[in-house]
Structure 1
Amino acid sequence: MKLINCVLCICLFIVFMGCKTTESQDNISTPGDKPGVLDEELSIIEKGDSFAADEQYYQAFVTYLTASNIEENSLIISRIEGVLPYLNMGSGQEDKVSVRLGEQLSQGLKFYVEQKTSSENQKLAAIPIKLNYSTQLQNGKKTDKHLVLISSGQGYVLFTPPEERSVGLYNVKAFLYPPELEKLIEQNKSLYDSVLSLLEQKKSSVQINVYSMAQNITTSTLILDLDSGGKPVGQNITELGLDSHLKKSGYQLKVNNLDHLYVLEEDNNAVLDRIKRDYGDTIKRIIIGTAQLEDFSYDGQNYSVKVYGDIRVFNVQTGEVLLRTRRYKLMQGQNLDSTLNSSYRQLGIDLAQKLKEELP
C-alpha cells in the first residue's frame, strides 16, 4: 500500500512539473504579446525589418512610421535609430555663403539625402526635404518660415532664399520630412516629437551672411533740424550724431558746403545738381532729410521731448532713392535745451544704425 502511494505521489509531481513548464513557456514575452502591439502593426515592423535587411533604409524608415498604433513608442524608435545612420543629409555648397544686400544668391542652395549601403552612397530621388529658414519681415523683425521640396532625379532640392532687407546672418536648415511623419501629428504626437528630434540631429545647415558695401562708397549728408513749427533751429545736431556714428563704423563721409535750407525745397534735384557741379563724381551718395521736434511736455520735474526724423539716401548721378527711413526718439531730462540736443543727437545715431542695417 505504501508502495502504491509513493508511485502516485511521483506521478502527481511529474504532472505538476509538466504544467509549470508549460506555463513558463507560455509566459515568454514576444513582440506580439506586448500590450498595445497589434498583429497588423507587428507585420508592418517586420516589413520594415525586411527593407532594412535589403539595405533599403529609407523605405524601412517610412514603413516604421506607419506602425503608429503601437503604444510602446520605444519599439518603433529603436528600429528608426537602427536605420537613420544610413540616411544622411548633405548640401551642395559650403556651410557659409555670402551675398550682398539687395541681391539674391547667384545660385540656389542645394540639399540632398544620401543612403549609405555596403556597395555605394546613393543620393535619393523623389524624397521630401523640409527647409526651415529665417527671413526679415517689412516691420524689421525676423521670422522663421518653412517649406517642403521634393528631390529631383539627381537627388537634389534647389532653394533660392528671399532677398533680405537688412544685413546680418540668416540660417537655412534642411532635414528629412516624409508625409508619413506629418500624419503622426494627429495619430501619435509623442512619437512625432521623438522622431523629429532624431531627424533634426541629422539636419544640414547653411548660414547666409548678408553684407553691405555702403561703407566703401563716398557719401555726404544734409540733414536740417526743425522746431515744432517747421523752422530751422540753427544747429543740425541730428546730422552730427549720424555722421559720428557712421564714421565710427568705417563709412567714407565727405563734407559738403551746401546750405541746409536746400532741404526744404520739394524737389531734391537742386541739391543733386549742386553736388554734381561742385564735387563731380567724388561724392557718390548723399543723405538728405529733416529732423523735427514733434512734441514736448513738462511734469514739474522732467521734460519729455519727442523728435521725428525722415531721411532719403540718393544716388547722386542717377537721382535714384536707394533707401528711405523714418525714426522717432523720445527722451527725458531736467533741462529743456540739453534734452532737445540729446534727442536730436540720439535720433541721428538711430538713423545711422538703420542705414548700416539696410543701405545696400
Structure 2
Amino acid sequence: MLLLFVLFSCATTPEKEIQPPEWYLNPPPDNNEYRYFAISQRASILKDIESLAGDELFARVSSALGLSESEAEKDDLSEMRKEIRSVVSGTQVQGFKLINKQVDELGTEKIIYILVQMENSRMDQLRTDLEDIFRAGSTASIYSVEAENLVSRGEVYKGALSYIKAALESAGSDNRFITEQNLRSAISLFEDMEITTVDSPETLAVGNSGVFKARLGLKSSDKPAVWKDVAVKTAFRDRKKGAVIGDRFAMLRSSETGLVTFVHPSPGFTGAGKVVMSLDLLYDTGDLSLLEKNFPEEYAKLISASDSVKVQFDFSIISSAPTVLTGVYIIDSDFLRKPLDSRQTQQGLTSSLQSAGFNTLQLDLDRKYLFDLNDEELLRDLPYLINGDYKRTVFGVAQIVEFDDAAAGFTVVTEARVRVLDLESGEILFDETLSKRVQGGESQATINTSFKELGKSFAALLMDKLP
C-alpha cells in the first residue's frame, strides 16, 4: 500500500513552475538618463517567442511615446517598428541596449524574459520623428505606397526608383524620418539585386565581334521579377585608330526578363579584354544632389548598393592575323637603293610567318612599283595591283646601309621600313623600321644572311603586333 501511495503521488505531482530571474522581477528604476523595459512572453514551443517579445517591446515603447494602439499600427511606423523589434534578437540599435535575455522551456511551452535599457535622448528623438511622420506630405506617402505596389508586382527596380523619388520629395524639408525611411527601403532593394553571367566568349579575335549576355535577378528569391528597361551601363576596353587602349561605354536596356545583351565591336588590340555591366542609377533618377547634400551617409550607401550590382567578363583578345590571307611584297636593294635580284628579306619573313601558321604567300609583282611610285600613289594603287583573295599585304624596301670588308671578314648592316596595308579599308595596320647587322666570311652569303635575318625579325614583330 505504501508503494502504491508513493507511485500515485509522483504521477500526480504538477510540473514545477520556472522562477523568473531576479533582474526581471526587480529591474533598475528609470532615471534622468535611461528607462528600462522588463518583458516576458509565454507561448507554444512552436511559435517565434522572440518575435512576440519584440512586439511587446514596441508596444511598450510606443505607449511611452504616447501613441494609441491604432496609431502604433500605422504603416508609416513600419521602419520604426522593425528597428525596435530587432533589439530582442541582439541587433545593435541606436539608443537601445539589451541588458539581459533568458529563454526557458516548460514542457510544450517556452518562456522568454528580457531587460532592455533605452536612452531618454533616443526617446526624445523618436518623438521628433513621430511628429515628422504624422505631418509628412501627401506626395511622399503616395510614392511610398506606389513603391510597395511596384515591388509586390515584381517590379523591384522601379520600386526602388519610386522610393528614391519619395525621398527627393521630402529631402528639402525638416521631415528627415520619412526621407531616411524611403532611402533605406531603396538601399535594401538594391542590396538584393544582382547581375549574373548568361553567356560570354573566352576568346575574341581582333576584327570579330563578340556577344556578352547577363541577367538581372534577386539574391533572395528565384521568383521571376519584371526588369524591363532597366538602365545598364557597359564598360569595355578598346583602342580606336591611332589611340591608346582605354575604356569606352555603352548604355543598354534590359528585356522584360532581365536579359542584357552587349555586342562587343571588333577590338583593335590583343591581350586581356574586359566587359563590365552595372546598373546606372543616376541615368534613371537624374540629379540626386539634394540627397547627397542633406543625407550624405544614406546617399553614399545608396550609390554603393547600386554600384555593387554588376558583373565582369574577362576574356582574351587574340590576333586574327594568322587566318587572314596576306601577300608579302618586299624588295632588297643595294647602297644606292637599286633593286637586287634576291628577295631574301621577303623569303625570311614569309617562311617564318608560315612556320607560325600564318596564311601568307610571296607576291611576285613588278619591283618598279615600290621604286617608281611615291607613297601616296603606292597606297592608292596597291589594292588594284594585287589579284586574288588577299586581304592584306606586307610591303617595303630593304637596303644595305653598311658594308665593311675588314681582314677579319665581312660586316653587313641591312635596314628596312615594312608596312602592312589592309586592302579593304586602306588602313595601315603596321609600320616599323628595323636593321640587322651580320658578320660572315663571304660577301654575298653575308649579304643574303643579313637580309633573311632582317625578314625573320620583322616576322617576329608582326606575330606580336599585327591585329
**Does TM, normalized by the shorter one, top 0.5?**
yes
Q: Give me the identity figure in percent.
A: 16
Q: Give the TM-score normalised by the residue count of structure 2.
A: 0.47
Report the counterpart of residue 113 of structure 1 in structure 2: 216
1:131 Cα deviation after fit: 1.5
Offset of 1:214 from its aligned partner? Answer: 4.5
Normalised by the length of structure 1, the TM-score is: 0.58
**Which structure 2 residues correspond to residues 208-357 of structure 1 after superposition, within 5 A?**
214-216=321-323, 219-226=326-333, 230-232=337-339, 238-239=345-346, 242-243=349-350, 245-254=352-361, 260=367, 263-264=370-371, 266=373, 268=382, 272=386, 287-291=393-397, 308-312=417-421, 324-329=428-433, 346-347=457-458, 349-355=460-466, 357=467
2:254 counterpart letter in structure 1 = S
Check if 1:126 corresponds to 2:212. no
Deviations 1:217-258 (A, max 9, x none): 665422124578653377656535633552353214445666
Q: 1:307 offset after TM fit, Å?
A: 5.1
Rg: which structure is higher?
2
Alignment of 1:89-168 (within 5 A): 89-91=195-197, 93-96=198-201, 101-105=206-210, 109-115=212-218, 120-139=223-242, 141-167=244-270
Q: Does the CA-based 8 Å contact 2:229-2:254 persist in structure 1? A: yes
Q: Distance in 2 between matches of 1:192 and 1:104?
A: 38
Q: For 1:307 and 1:256, locate their aligned partners in 2 and report how far apart those are by CA, in whole Å.
A: 18
> Would the aligned equivalents of 1:329 and 1:346 in 2 still touch at CA under 8 Å?
no
Matched with 1:58 is 157
Contact persistence 2:209–2:265 (CA under 8 A): yes
- In the TM superposition, residue 114 of structure 1 has moved relative to its aligned partner by 2.6
Give the distance between the partners of 1:307 and 1:185, measured in 2 at CA. Answer: 60
Deviations 1:116-151 (A, max 9, x none): 676822141232222212222111532212233333
Contact 1:123 1:155 in 2 (8 A): yes
The 2-side partners of 1:202 and 1:76 are apart by 19
Distance 1:27 1:253 in 2: 85
Conservation of the 8 A alpha-carbon contact between 1:61 and 1:83: yes
Provide the rounded CA distance (Å) in 2 between the counterparts of 1:269 and 1:153.
48
Shift of 1:203: 1.3
Alpha-carbon distance in structure 2 between the residues aligned to 1:263 and 1:80: 68
- RMSD of equivalent CA atoms: 5.5
1:39-87 residue CA offsets vs partner (Å, 9 max, x unmatched): 58x9779959x849958643564466565878xxx99997666434532
Change (3 A) 1:151 1:264: same
2:120 corresponds to: 27
Over 3 Å counting, the alpha-carbon distance change for 1:233 and 1:201 in structure 2 is farther
Contact 2:330–2:398 (CA<8 Å) still a contact in 1? no
Residues of 2 paired with 1:351 and 1:34: CA distance? Answer: 75
Cα distance change, pair 32–126 in 1 and its aligned pair in 2 (3 A): farther
Distance 1:186 1:141, change over 3 A: farther
The alpha-carbon distance between structure 1 residues 128 and 285, as it changes in their structure 2 partners (threshold 3 A), is closer
Q: Could you tell me which amino acid in structure 1 is paired with residue 157 of structure 2? A: Y
Measure the CA separation in 2 of the matches of 1:343 and 1:76.
Answer: 70
CA distance in 1, matches of 2:289, 2:266: 32
**Larger relative contact order, structure 1 or 2 (CA cutoff 8 Å, min sep 6):** 1
Structure 1 120/324 Cα, relative in aligned 2: closer, same or farther at 3 Å?
same
Q: Structure 2 counterpart of 1:29, which letter?
A: R
1:2-37 Cα deviation digits (max 9, x unpaired): xxxxxxxxxxxxxxx87637789662526956999x
Q: Matched residue of 1:148: which SS?
A: strand
Distance 1:184 1:128 in 2: 16
In 1, Cα distance between equivalents of 2:285 and 2:366: 66
- SS where residue 273 of structure 2 aligns? strand
Code of the aligned partner of 2:322: Q
The structural deviation recorded for 1:265 is 5.8
Q: Is the 8 A contact 1:116 1:122 kept in 2?
A: no
Residue 135 to residue 84, structure 1, CA distance change in 2 (3 Å): same
**Counterparts of 1:333 and 1:191 in 2: how far apart (Å)?**
68
